[in-house]
Structure 1
Amino acid sequence: MTKVGSSILTALGAGSGIDTSALVASLVSATREPKQMAITDRQSLNTSRISALASAISSLNTFADALSSVLSGSDYTGTPNSADASIASVSLLSGGTPAGLPAQLTVEQLATARVLSSTTTAGATGSTAVGTGSLTITTASGTKTVTIDSTNNSYAGLAAAVNASGSGVTARVVTDAQGTRLVFKGETGADNDFSLSATADNGGSALAGLSWSTASAGTMTSTSDPRNAQITLDGVAYEYAGNSIDDAIPYLRIDLNKASPGTTVNLSMTQPTAGLSDLLKEFVDAYNTLMKALNTATATGSDSSSAGVLNGVSGVRDMKRQLATLTSTELGSTGAYRTLADIGVTTNRDGTLSLDTDRLASAMEADPEGITNMVNPKTSTTTSPGLSKLMDSVRDSIEKDDGPIKTAQKLYDAQAEEFTRQLEKLDDQMTNYEQHLTSVYAAMETRLSALKATQSYLEQQIKVWNNSDN
C-alpha cells in the first residue's frame, strides 16, 4: 500500500488517471479564497482608517502648532525698543508679551566682578613653568583646589585647570610688552567675591605669588571690585547681581550696557506690524484645508465603495464638532468683540469658514486695540485665552487619552492585530485541510490501484476460460 508523506506527487495520480494533486489544490483554493477575501477586505478598510486617523491628528497638530508659532512672532506680538541701546538694550523672552510698557529706566551702576592680576614676569610666555603645588579658590559657593603638576605646569596649564574647576572663577594668560601674567575674574555681583590661596613646592615660583584675599592682598593686584547693578524703573530702585535682567518686566530681557546716572531711557513696544486681516485670512484658509479633508474622509456616499474611509467614526465626528466651536467661543472677556463670529468669521453648512472682510474692517476701525488683544492677548488667561490658547485647548480635548479619537485608534490597532491572527489561523486551517484531502485521495488511489489489479486478473482468467472452451 502507498504511504502518505513520502511524496504527495508520488501518492497522487498513481493509477486512476485523475490529477488529484491539482484537484486538492483547487479544493483548498476554493475553500480559502472567500474566507481570506472577507478578512483582507476588512483588514484593508481597517488599515485605511488607521492611516486616515493618523493623518487627521497630524493635520490638526500642524494647524495648531503653526498658529502658535505665527502669533508668538514679533509681527503679532510687537517689537521691544530702547530709546538708547548704548545704555540698555531690550529683547523678547518666550511665553508671553511684555506688560507695563512704556517704562522709564535709569542705569545708576553696572554689575562688576572681582578681577585680580598677578605680577608680570618679563620674558615669560604661556608655556613658561609656574611651579608645582596647588591653588585653592574660595567663593560664596564653596572651595575648589586646583593641582599643578608636571602635566599642567605652565601659565596656560594653570589657567586651563582653573577654568575647568567649576569654581565660577575664570583665568586667562595675558602677554604684552611687559611680559606674562595671569588674570582671574569672578562672577558679577556683590555676593560673588573670591579669594586665592597658593601652596607652592618652590617658594620662588610664580605659583607662590598667587595668594589673595580682601584681608591680605599679597603680590596680586585687584583691578575691579564685585558690585551689583543698580537701576531705577519707573522711579523704583532695584539691584541685580548681573547686567542681564529677565524679571524686572515680564517677558522682557533688559541688557545693561553702560551706567549713566541721571539719564532716563524710555523702554517701549511697537504695535504689531502685520495686519490682523491677513492673519485671519490665513487662519480661515488653513482651517478650511483641514475641514475639507475631514469632510472627504467622513463622506456618506451612495454605498460602501463611495463612502469616506472614516464615515461613521464617532471620534472624527467629535473632532469636527469641537473645531466648530472655535468661532463661537469667547476669546476675550471684555469689550464689544469677544468671538471670531463677532468680527466676521462665520461657519458654512459644510463646516468650513468664511471671513467677512468688510465686517472685520468695521470692527477694526471701531476698536483695533480691543480686537488685537482678543485674538492675541499679552497674557492668556482662562477667561481671555486668545486664539492660539483656545486652539491648543481644543486640540488637547480632541486628543485626550480617554477621548473618542484615541479610543478609535486603540480599537483599530486591536482590530489590525486580530485580522493578522485570523489570517495566520486560516493558513493553519488550510494546511490541515490540504493534508486531509491529500490523505483521502491517496487512499482512494490505493484502492483504485487494487481494483485495477483485480480487474486485470479477472480479464486474464476470462481469456483463459474462453480459450479452454474452444
Structure 2
Amino acid sequence: MVSSIANSLGFGSGLDVKQLVADLSNASRDPKIARMTSLTQANQTRISALAQARSNLDGFADSLGQMVSDGTLRSTPTVSDESVLGATSRAGLSADSFAATVVVNQLARAQTNYSGIVADKAAAIGTGTMTLTVGGVAKTITIDATNNSLEGLANAINASGAGVTASIIADEGGHRLIVKGPTGEVGAFTLTADAGADPGLSAFSTSGGMTVGQSAANAEFTIDGVAFSRANNIIDDVIPGMSLTLKKAAPGQGVDIGASRPLDMIKQTVGDFVSVYNQLKKSLVTASSMSGETTSLREIERELSNLVNKVLSSHGSINKLSDIGISSTRDGLLSVDNAKLDKVLASDAGAVEALFNPRRDATHTEQSDPGIAFALDAIRDKAVGVNGAIDRVSKSLDAKRENLADQLEKIEERESAYKARLEKQYGSLEAKLAAFKATQSYLEQQIKLWNNQGND
C-alpha cells in the first residue's frame, strides 16, 4: 500500500509531493554525507602521507645499508702480482696506513690416496670394519653384505661425517677409489682394516694399500718477514679488513699489497645522503604537520635531526656528520660544506669512510662504531616496530578509516529510513488532500445546482 501511495505522489492534490519528499530528504542527508566524505578524504590523505614517509625511510635505510654491505664504500686492495695471490676487502680495512709485502712459500694441500684398479666397481671387495682417523678422531667404516663393493665403501666413507671425501673414477681397465681429506696438516687421515676384516679390505688401507697422491700441508707465507702457517689458502684472520687468497707458491718472490680508498664515491655518498635525507625530512614534515594522529611522527623527525651530532665512530676527532661539514639549516634540512669535507678527506679520509663504512673487529663493534647505516636502521626499526611511531599512526588511521566507513553506512541507513517515513507521511497527506479536493468539487457542483434551482 505504501509503495502504491509513494508511486502516486503528486497526483490528485495538485501538489508536487514527490519533489517535496526528495528535497526534504536531501536537505537532511547531503550535509551529513558531505561531512563524512570530507573526514574520509582527510584521513586518506594522512594515510597516503604516512605511506610516502615510510617508503622514503625504508628506501633511505635500505639503499645506504646496501652500499655498505656490497663494499661500494670500502677501500679496495691492490696487489702487484695477482697470479700469486688475490685480495678482497671487508669492513675494517684501514687503507691510509696499510702496505705490506707477502711471500707465498707453500700452498695448503689436502691429503689424497688412491687405490689400485678394480675391474668392477660393484664387485665384492670383502666384509668387515675399517677405521678412518682424522685429527685424532676415529670413525668406524662397516662393510657388510649390503654394501660389499667399491661403491659401498665410498658411500660409507662419505656418510661417516669425518670430513673425508671418497669418489670413484674410471681408469683404464676398471675403477679407482680416491679419498681426499680436508686441507691443511690437521686434515691428514689414516684408513686401516681392522682385525678380523677380510683380506681384500687391506687393499684400501692408507698404509701399504692405497698410494699417496699428495700429503697434507699448511699454507706457509710471510707478511713483511713475519711467518704464518694456515690450514687454508683463504686467509681472513691476519690483515684486518682484508681477505687474502693464495693462488700459487712463489718462494723468494715478494708481492706488494696495499689499498686505495674510493674518495670520489665517498664524497658523492655524502652528497647523496644529504639529498635523500632532505627528501625524507620533507615527507615526514608533510605527514606530521597534518592535524590528528600523524603529529606523533615528529618523534621520528627529532631522531633524524639528532643524527647530525650523533657519535658514529670511535675516532677521536672525526666521529660525527657535523665533523665532515654536514649541518642543519633553519628549516631542519641538511646542507654540506664541501670545502670542509674536502679538507677532512685530505687529512683523514679513513675517518670519513668509517662514518659510512665502520670497522668491525674485536674493538670496533656496532655499539662503539655504529656508522650512519646502523644508526639509521635503528631509527627505522624503532619507528616501524610494534608500538613505534609509524606503527601507532598506521593502526590509528586504519581504525579511523573503518570507523568512518561504519558511520557512513549507518547514516545511509538512517536517511533511507527517514525518506521512507516522509514518503509514507506525505503519501497519506496526498490521499487526504485528494479526498478533500473531491469533496470540494462535489460541494461546488451541489451549490451550483442549488443556485440554478433557486433561479427557476
Q: Tell me which interval the TM-score lies in, with the shorter structure as reference length.
A: 0.7 to 0.9
> Counterpart in 1 of 2:110?
113
1:212 aligns with 2:204: yes
**1:47: how far off?**
0.8
Determine whether 1:344 maps to 2:325. Answer: yes
Amino acid at match of 1:359: K
What corresponds to 2:88 in structure 1? Answer: 91
Question: Structure 1: how far apart are the matches of 2:5 and 2:105?
Answer: 101
* TM value normalised by structure 2: 0.74
Match of 1:328 in 2: 309
1:62 is matched with 59
Q: Is the 8 A contact 2:287 2:295 kept in 1?
A: no
AA in 2 matched with 1:91: T
| 1:302 aligned residue | none
Alignment partner, residue 414 of structure 2: 429
CA distance in 2, matches of 1:341, 1:280: 12
Matches within 5 A, 1:311-326: 313-326=294-307
Change (3 A) 1:253 1:142: farther
Q: For residues 141 and 222 of structure 1, what CA distance do their matches in structure 2 show?
A: 20
Deviations 1:349-402 (A, max 9, x none): 222233222333344444444444456443455454444344334444555544
Gaps of 5+ in 1: 299-307
Match of 1:353 in 2: 334
Counterparts of 1:164-243 in structure 2, within 5 Å, are 167=161, 170-177=165-172, 179-189=174-184, 190-191=186-187, 193=189, 195=191, 212-214=204-206, 218=209, 220-229=210-219, 235=226, 237-240=228-231, 242-243=232-233
Distance 1:455 1:146 in 2: 121
Q: Are 1:42 and 2:32 counterparts?
A: no
Instruction: Label 1:456 to 1:129 Cα distance change in 2 as closer, same or farther (>3 A).
Output: farther
Secondary structure of the equivalent of 2:109?
A: coil
| Secondary structure class of the residue paired with 2:110 | coil
Match of 1:388 in 2: 373
Corresponding residue number in structure 2 for 1:51 = 48
Higher share of residues assigned helix: 2
Q: Which moved more, 1:348-357 or 1:113-122?
A: 113-122
User: What's the CA shift for 1:75?
Assistant: 5.1
CA distance in structure 1 between the aligned counterparts of 2:20 and 2:32, rounded to whole angstroms: 19
* In structure 2, distance between residues paired with 1:375 and 1:178: 62
* Counterpart residue number, 1:4: 2
Q: How many residues are aligned here?
A: 440
Which residue of 1 is the match for residue 243 of structure 2? 253
Instruction: Call closer, same or farther: CA 1:449–1:359 in 2, change over 3 Å.
Output: same
Cα pair distance change 1:223/1:42, threshold 3 Å: same
Cα deviations by residue, 1:113-166 (Å, 9 ceiling, x for unpaired): 3434343357x7xxx8656999999675967889999xx9999x8799779958
CA separation of 1:258/1:334 partners in 2, compared to 1, >3 Å: closer, same or farther?
closer
Q: CA deviation at 1:46?
A: 1.0
| Alignment partners' CA distance in 2, 1:146 and 1:56 | 67
Which residue matches 1:301?
A: none
Q: Is the 8 A contact 2:181 2:188 kept in 1?
A: yes
The change in CA–CA distance for 1:292 and 1:172 in structure 2 (over 3 A counts) is same
Runs of 4+ in 1 over 6 A off after TM superposition: 131-137, 143-149, 152-155, 157-164, 208-211, 459-470
Higher mean alpha-carbon deviation, 331-340 vs 435-444, is at: 331-340
CA distance change for structure 1 residues 422 and 165 in 2, over 3 Å: closer, same or farther?
farther
Deviation string for 1:165-191 (max 9, x for gaps)? 585554555345555444343443534
Find the counterpart in structure 2 of residue 305 from structure 1.
Answer: none
Q: Which residue is 1:304 aligned to?
A: none
In 2 relative to 1, CA 311–407 (structure 1 residues): closer, same or farther, beyond 3 Å? closer
- Determine the structure 1 residue equivalent to 2:426: 441
CA distance in 1, matches of 2:160, 2:440: 105
Report if the CA contact (8 A) 2:6-2:427 is conserved. Answer: no
Structure 1: which amino acid aligns with 2:183?
T
C-alpha distance in 2, partners of 1:33/1:192? 89
> Is the 1:113–1:193 contact (alpha carbons within 8 Å) kept by the matching residues of 2?
no
Q: How far apart in 2 are the matches of 1:252 and 1:314?
A: 47
For the structure 1 residues 260 and 365, does the alpha-carbon distance in structure 2 shift closer, same or farther, using more than 3 Å as the test? closer
State the alpha-carbon separation in 2 of the partners of residues 248 and 148 from structure 1.
50
Overall identity of the aligned pairs, in %:
36
Q: Specify the alignment match of 2:269 in structure 1.
A: 279
Residue 12 of structure 1 and its aligned partner are, at CA, apart by 4.4
Aligned equivalents of 1:456, 1:154: Cα separation in 2: 121
**1:52–1:310 CA contact under 8 A, matched in 2:** no
Deviates more, 1:226-235 or 1:56-65: 226-235
> What CA distance in whole angstroms lies between the structure 2 residues aligned with 1:289 and 1:340?
18
> Please, which moves more after superposition, 378-387 or 97-106?
97-106
Amino acid at match of 1:274: D
Question: What are the Cα deviations for residues 411-470 of structure 1, in whole angstroms up to 9, with x where unaligned?
Answer: 222211211111121122123223322332343344445556656766777688778876
Query: What SS does the corresponding residue of 1:77 show, helix, strand or coil?
Result: coil
Question: Does 159-168 or 70-79 show the bigger shift?
Answer: 159-168
Counterpart CA distance in 1 for 2:148 and 2:403 is: 71
Distance in 2 (CA, whole Å) between partners of 1:98 and 1:365 is 15
**CA offset at residue 35 of structure 1?**
0.7
> Contact conserved, 1:82 with 1:265, CA < 8 A, in 2?
yes
Of 256, 268, 272, 2:258 maps to 268
TM-aligned CA distance change 1:148 to 1:9, over 3 Å: farther
Query: CA 1:146–1:374 in 2, change beyond 3 Å: closer, same or farther?
Result: same
Please provide the CA RMSD for this pair: 4.7
The code of the aligned residue for 1:328 comes to N
Q: Give the match for residue 26 of structure 2.
A: 29
Distance 1:223 1:401 in 2: 60
With normalisation by structure 1, the TM-score equals: 0.72
Post-superposition Cα deviations, 1:194-242, rounded to whole Å, max 9, x if no partner, equal 75989xxxx9xxxx77973446x65x444244555555667364443x4
Kept in 2, the 8 Å contact 1:159–1:172? The answer is: no
